[in-house]
Amino acid sequence: MYVPSISRTPARRSLAGREPGRDHDSPAKNILGTIEGCIPALRRYAAALLRDREAADDAVYQCLNEALDKLHTLQTDGDVKPRLFAILQHALAKRLAQKRFRPLDRAMPASPALAPGGKPGQDDSARQLDLMRRLDRLPEWQRCVLLLVSVENLTYGEAATVLKMSTSSVMELLASGRERLLQTDGAPPPEPGFA
């Protein structure tokens, strides 16, 4: 398939400023501080995939322990964030395979007060919950890619590293996952004005 030329320095990065886990400073940066800065995102990803907060934090705990074991290799090469997600992905794999049911709505209510642009209405919560339900019905890899790219802001290359697949596979899964979510969406189309 055709693979578009992906920018090496996407515009979003330069606007995003300092993100935890991206090595902007000297290589001798405090590695533990960097890992610590990634914990909220690791918890979010694990919770979104497993829909079980306790199991999610267990997976993050396992991930952090493994990261502490290989502190030295984490320090020496490249960005820490994608490699932490790769360790977490490994910890999640077994739990995902074991998962038989989803205590969805009770375990993970839609965010009540965090829609963009201030006070959310009932509509926003309902839309979030609806989208989460539809996300749950996607195949596992599509969900992983959608969450890593859309929610965790990883580049396609980074998501490919985390999931141990090619960048073009990531892009295909992303496109098919989003299309599937679109097809199952009963909501009216959004207002004009993309950007």
Partner 1 sequence: MPHRAFFGGTGVAIPETELHAYVDGQLDPERNAAIRRYLLAHSDTARRVRHYIKQRDTLQAAFAHVAMEPIPIQLNLQRMLQQRLAQQQPRWSVWRLAAGLVMAIGLTGAGTLTGWVLRGGSGGVPAIEAQASPIDRLLDEIADYHTAYARETIHQVEVPASQTAHIESWLGDRLHRRLHVPDLSSHGLQFAGARLLVVDGAPVADLVFHWPGKEHQPIALCITLAPGPDEPPRVAGREDLQQISWQRNGYAYVIAGWTDPATLQALASDLMPRLDEKT
Footprint on residues 175-194 left by partner 1 (CB under 8 A): 175-176, 178-179, 181-182, 185, 189-194
Which of 93, 94, 137, 151 is close enough to bind partner 1 by CB under 8 A?
A: 151
Q: Is 150 in the site for partner 1 (CB under 8 A)?
A: yes
Cβ at position 93, least distance to partner 1 in Å: 20
Binding span for partner 1 by CB under 8 A among 82-90, 94-102, 146-154: 146-154
Tokens of 147: 């969450």
Options 78, 112, 164, 166; binder of partner 1; rule CB under 8 A: 112
DSSP-assigned states of every residue in 18-71: --TTS--S-TTS-HHHHHHHHHHHHHHHHHHHH--HHHHHHHHHHHHHHHHHTH
- Whose tokens are 């892009």? That residue is 171
Residues 88, 59: contact at Cβ < 8 Å?
A: yes
Q: Is 137 in the site for partner 1 (CB under 8 A)?
A: no
User: Quick check: 64 and 35 in contact, CB under 8 A?
Assistant: yes
At its nearest, how many Å lie between partner 1 and the CB of residue 191? 8
- Name which of residues 28 to 87 contact partner 1 (CB under 8 A): 28-33, 35-36, 39-41, 43-44, 47-48, 57, 60-61, 64-65, 68, 71-72, 75-76
- State the DSSP code for 14: H
Q: By CB under 8 A, is residue 17 in contact with partner 1?
A: no
The rounded distance, in Å, linking the Cα atoms of 33 and 158 is 21
Identify which of residues 86 and 181 has a Cβ nearer to partner 1 in the complex.
181
